[in-house]
Amino acid sequence: MQVVFDQLNVAALIDTGSSINVISKNLFDSISDKLKISFEQLSDPEIRLANNEKIKVFGTAKLKAIIHDQEQIIDIYILPTVSHPLILGTEYLRTHKVLLDFSDFSYGVKNIHVQTTKKIFIEPNTELLTNGKVPNFVMVGLQGLCSNSQFALHQGLMIAKSLVVVPPNHRVPIKILNASNVRITLPKGKNIAEFTVLSNDNSYVRMSDNTESFKVQNIELVTESIDIVEGQDVPFNPSKSEDSSLNMVAEFCKEFHLSEDLTEKQLLQLQQCLYENRDLFVTKDNPNLGFTSLIEHKINLKPNAVSKHQNPYRLPPYKREILREQLDDLLRQGIITPVSESEELPITSPVVLVTKRSANADKKESQNFRFCCDFRHLNAQTEDFKYVIPNLQELTESMSDLVPNFITSIDLSSGFFQMGISPDSTRYTAFNTCFGTYKFQRLPMGLKLPQILFSF
C-alpha cells in the first residue's frame, strides 16, 4: 500500500498478524516534523512480539499521511529495527475499514467516499446534477453504485442511487435532491455520496428501447393517510410542501433558545442559518459528537504511584439499565472501548450515575443521569501541573484598544469527549462496571488536569 509523507513515498506492508502499526526509527526521523502531530515516550518501553521476544520501543506517535488520496492520521509505534520500514496492522485495517481479498492478494475499501469538486448551492425544492470525485486509487472502468452518505443525510439531501463507471478523470455523476424549503450550501471536498463496487451479490438488467418504463412526476412526501380512487391522480399541492419544509426548520430550531428581541425577519434568518449548519450541532437526529486531534491529554503518574483496583459500585436495577444504555452509546461513538484480557491496568476506577440538576426526579430515564467515573485515586497518583487559568476580566480588558462588534461564547456538548487522550494514557482511565471493564479513547470528565488543557 502506498503511503505518502509530504514528498516521501513509502510502500507499506499490510500485516494481519500485527495488532499495531509499526515504523522504523530511521524512517520516522526522515519524516518532516510538520507531519508529526504528537510524540511520547512510553513508561514501559518494551513490547512483546509474536515469538515471545521483547523489543525496545522508542515511543509512539501520530503521523499525518496521504493514503488513497485522502489525508489520514496513523497511530504508530517506533522501533529501532523492523523487518519492513512501515507496517500497517489490524488496528489500521479496522479503523479505516479496509477489506482484504486473498483470492488475488489485493485490498480495497468497503465504502469509498465521493467528494464534491466545488462549492455547490442547491436551491429549495430542486434537483441538481453534478460531478463527484472518487479517489485516484479507484481503478478506471470499475463499476459501482453511488448512494447516500451520512453527510448528505444530515444535510437533509437525497442522493439518487445510480450505477456508474469510473472514467479516466475519476469524476462520476451525482444527482442531488433538496426537498426542503431552504437553500443548502455544500462546501468543496465534502463526502456527498458513497461508492460501492459491484460484486457477485449484485445483479442488474440492461434496459432496451422496448422495455416498458414508467415516468413519475410531481413527487410529494405525504404524512397523512388519503383515499386514492383508481383512475384518479393524486393532487400535488406546492403550498403544503412549502409548509412541511418550514415545519422542519421550526422543529429543528426548538433545540435552541432564541432571543425574543429579534424581529420576525431576523428570527427567520437565524433559523435558516442554524438549519443550514445543522450538522455542527448535537441533536436527537445527529447525536454524534465532534472530535479534534490537534491536542491530546497525557496522564503522568507519580514515581511512587500506588496501584489500586476498585470494584464497581452497586446499582439498583433501573440504574443498571440506564448504565447499559449509556455504555452502548459511548461504545457506538468510539469514546470508550472494552479492555482486553492481556492488557496491564495499574489502576481501575468505579462508575457513578449522577442525577442532573435540570432532571425530573420522578423520571428514571437515561438523559436524566450523567455518566461519571470516580477518579479520586487516579487523581491522587497523578503529578501536578502548575498553570494559571486565564482570567475573564483580563481578557475583556485586553479588548480596550479594539472594541469588537460581537462577543460570543460557545458551549460544547460533552466538550471533554471531543478531545483526545494519548494512547499510552488510556489504560489509566480503565473503569469497572457490572457489565465489564472499559477504558476511554477520548478525554473523560473527572480527571485532575483536563480543565487546564481545555483552556489552551
For the chain, give the percent of residues with pLDDT over 90. Answer: 10
**Are the beta carbons of 234 and 179 closer than 8 angstroms?**
no
pLDDT for position 193: 92
From CA 36, how far away is CA 31, in angstroms rounded?
8
Return the top range by mean pLDDT from 71-75, 192-196, 227-231, 367-371: 192-196
Domain ranges of the chain: 2-107, 112-197, 238-280, 293-454
Q: Are 393 and 310 in contact, with CB atoms under 8 Å apart?
A: no
Superfamily in which the 2-107 domain is placed by CATH: Acid Proteases (2.40.70.10)
What is d(CA 134, CA 173) in angstroms, rounded to the nearest whole number?
11
Distance CA 412, CA 73 (A): 24
What's 382's DSSP letter? B
pLDDT category at 349 given cuts 50, 70, 90 is very high
Q: Which residues pair with 337 in a beta bridge?
A: 439
Residue 350 has pLDDT above 90, yes or no: yes
Please list, residue by residue across 57-93, b when 16 or more beta carbons sit within 10 angstroms of its beta carbon and e when fewer do: bbbbbbbbbebbeeeeebbbbbbeebeebbbbbbbbb
pLDDT digits (tens, 9 = 90+) for 7-34: 788 888 888 888 888 898 888 888 888 8
Task: Decide if 74 contacts 62 (C-beta within 8 A).
Answer: yes
Cell numbers 412526476: residue: 217
Residue of 190, 111, 189, 198 lying closest to 162 (CA atoms): 198
CA–CA distances in Å: residue 135 to residues 224, 236, 435: 43, 41, 42
Predicted pLDDT at 418: 77
CB-based contacts of 280: which residues, under 8 Å, 6+ apart? 290
Which residue type, as a one-letter code, is found at position 17?
G
- pLDDT tens digits, one per residue of 126-161: 898 999 998 877 777 778 889 998 888 888 899 999
pLDDT-derived band at 239, boundaries 50, 70, 90? very low
Give the closest residue to 67 by CA, choosing from 89, 98, 39: 98
Q: Which of 321, 297, 330, 366 is nearest to 438 (CA)?
A: 330
pLDDT at 69 over 80: no
pTM of the model: 0.44
**DSSP 3-state of 248:** helix
Matching CATH number, 293-454, of 3.40.50.720, 3.40.50.920, 3.10.10.10, 3.20.20.140? 3.10.10.10
Long-range contacts of 270-274 (CB under 8 A, 24+ apart): 272/182, 272/183
DSSP string, 32-71: -GGGEEEEE--SS-EEE-TTS-EEE--EEEEEEEEETTEE
The angle at the Cα of 160, spanning 119 to 106, to the nearest 5 degrees, equals 85
Q: What's the mean per-residue pLDDT of the chain? A: 78
Span 114-130, pLDDT tens digits: 999 888 888 888 898 99
371 burial level (CB within 10 Å; 0-12, 13-18, 19+): buried
Please check whether the domain covering 112-197 is classified as CATH 2.70.40.10.
yes
Q: How far apart (Å, rounded) are the C-alpha atoms in residues 241 and 220?
A: 7
pLDDT of 348 > 90? The answer is yes
pLDDT greater than 80 at residue 389: no
Query: Tens digits of per-residue pLDDT, 401-412?
Result: 666 666 677 767
